[in-house]
């Protein structure tokens, strides 16, 4: 195994969390380097695209979360070897990035009224539409996993995002949103959560 160091914020969600869970499930040793915001700001210009996560593999720096997830998925037997199944796994991870790009602009709104209006606009349209589309893709493949008929990094990516919605990480987005519009994604979330290694990671 190469020497692996994952650098990300000290939070249990968002873009760096999927690789941590994959390492956990695969039983692959890595350095879990957690940065606070001051560390990040001080080191930001040294990161390839000024952002986290980054993964260092024997010193080679890899940026961009889904490429990291894919690499870690290969190491940890959580990425399909079949090319079509791999593409379906990729599709799912990129879909979550797409919706994250819709939500991101609302994270930095300082005016609370403006943030509330922006979040409510997401709840009125884009989020339910996306949740239904994502659920339809899952259901079309049998309803259990997004690719390869087994747990892959795609499932971890969806799990981390759905978990954040259910926990109410986004103010003004009801924690019942997923259950209302996409119950199969709640069942999917609970399927991943039932894995003892996943639960242990959070507990």
Q: Which residues of this chain interact with a copy of itself, rule CB under 8 A?
A: 48-50, 55, 57, 60, 62-68, 70-71, 74-75, 83-84, 86-91, 94-95, 97-98, 101, 129-130, 133, 136-137
Measured from the CB atom, is 75 or 178 closer to a copy of itself?
75
Q: How far is the CB of 17 from a copy of itself (least distance, A)?
A: 17
Of 67, 79, 61, 62, the closest CA to residue 25 belongs to: 79
Residues in the chain: 203
Least Cβ distance, residue 190 to a copy of itself (angstroms)? 24
- Minimum distance from residue 95 beta carbon to a copy of itself (Å): 6
Nearer Cβ to a copy of itself, position 21 or 134?
A: 134
Element (H, E) at 54: strand 54-57
Least CB distance to a copy of itself at residue 158 (A): 14
Minimum CB distance to a copy of itself, residue 168 (Å): 25
**Least gap, CB of 39 to a copy of itself (angstroms):** 20
Cα distance between residue 87 and residue 138, in whole Å: 14
Q: Where are the alpha helices (DSSP H) in the chain?
A: 17-26, 37-43, 65-75, 83-107, 112-124, 126-140, 153-166, 177-181, 183-193, 196-202
Give me the residues paired with residue 60 across strands.
57
Residue 69 in contact with residue 153, Cβ under 8 Å? yes
Q: Please, are residues 65 and 18 in contact by the beta-carbon 8 Å criterion?
A: yes
Residue 118: both structure tokens together: 């922006």
Is the Cβ of residue 98 or residue 190 nearer to a copy of itself in the bound state? 98
Q: Which is nearer to a copy of itself, 136 or 167 (CB)?
A: 136
Residue closer to a copy of itself, measured from CB, 52 or 95: 95
Closer to a copy of itself at the Cβ: 60 or 111?
A: 60
């Amino acid at each position: 195994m190469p020497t692996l160091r994952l650098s990300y914020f000290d939070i249990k969600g968002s873009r760096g969390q999927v690789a941590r869970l994959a390492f956990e499930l695969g039983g692959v040793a890595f350095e879990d380097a957690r940065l606070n915001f001051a560390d990040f700001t001080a080191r930001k210009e040294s990161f390839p695209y000024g952002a986290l996560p980054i993964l260092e593999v024997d010193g080679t720096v890899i940026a961009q979360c889904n490429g990291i997830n894919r690499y870690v998925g290969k190491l940890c037997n959580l990425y399909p070897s079949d090319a079509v199944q791999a593409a379906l796994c990729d599709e799912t991870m990129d879909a979550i990035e797409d919706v994250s790009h819709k939500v991101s602009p609302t994270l930095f709104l300082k005016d609370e009224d403006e943030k509330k209006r922006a979040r409510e606009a997401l709840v009125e349209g884009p989020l339910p539409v996306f949740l239904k589309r994502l659920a339809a893709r899952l259901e079309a493949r049998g309803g259990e996993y997004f690719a390869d008929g087994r747990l892959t990094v795609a499932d971890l990516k969806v799990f981390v995002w759905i978990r954040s919605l259910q926990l109410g990480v986004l103010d003004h987005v009801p924690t019942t949103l997923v259950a209302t519009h996409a119950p199969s994604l709640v069942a999917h979330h609970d399927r991943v959560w039932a894995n003892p290694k996943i639960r242990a990671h959070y507990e």
